[in-house]
Structure 1
């Protein structure tokens, strides 16, 4: 029984040391995206939607990212991922991801009707997703001095 426990412990330690050097391809892609595009981890969140790479884990391999478009990395974003090992190309495939941006902006604390003046009682600063906003969002109440709401704004919606 003692030898069985010893063998089990040794095999567990070997498994842990081997898996400590590996990382998943999706984690490596996300880390590389943050590095290549100088994205802040507190402001952006990246989610890999589809990955057609056959390789699922990386040990010593490196990856390179080539975007398919020249637009800013925001919303749905597609890149070509190439995996290299010792200077040689191992695999290349297209990867789709969703990049979401969060920011502290002025939001409505209650439902605001048309022509309602913006005050401290009906607005607050909150960190919300601003990925799909088309108009400029406001970061403080001072920026909106004298402004009135043009249309109905729902609760917890950024004011633009």
Structure 2
């Protein structure tokens, strides 16, 4: 005799609490266009395109960073940090790069909004954790020398 539980699949839910559609990892089963996105304080865009992606020792750097964010309790709540994989930023000469977006409408630090970090493929887990804590504490990344930034040109250079 077959166990009834074997016939039922375990329901999976995304971080917004919506049941996930079969065959997907986060797509909600029932789409609600009016449901707001989950709050985030900081969004970290990680280049995982061809050149930057090859620089990472970790094949799925975004998943690893999401696990580290959970370890430092920043995966939910008012200080939530979200990691997003991107295509090419056009900054390959700085090896792997990341861009920080701060939710300044609520509790993000304007000074950290739009910062570009370079050589992130050299970060170990402890350095990532220090960055996440600094972002949570709204410490200015400009004042933390261990996080090297991509230099940005003056717009008048292109006139």
Question: What TM-score, normalized by structure 2, do the two folds share?
Answer: 0.20
Question: Rg larger in 1 or in 2?
Answer: 1
More helix by share: 2
More strand by share: 1
Question: What TM-score, normalized by structure 1, do the two folds share?
Answer: 0.20
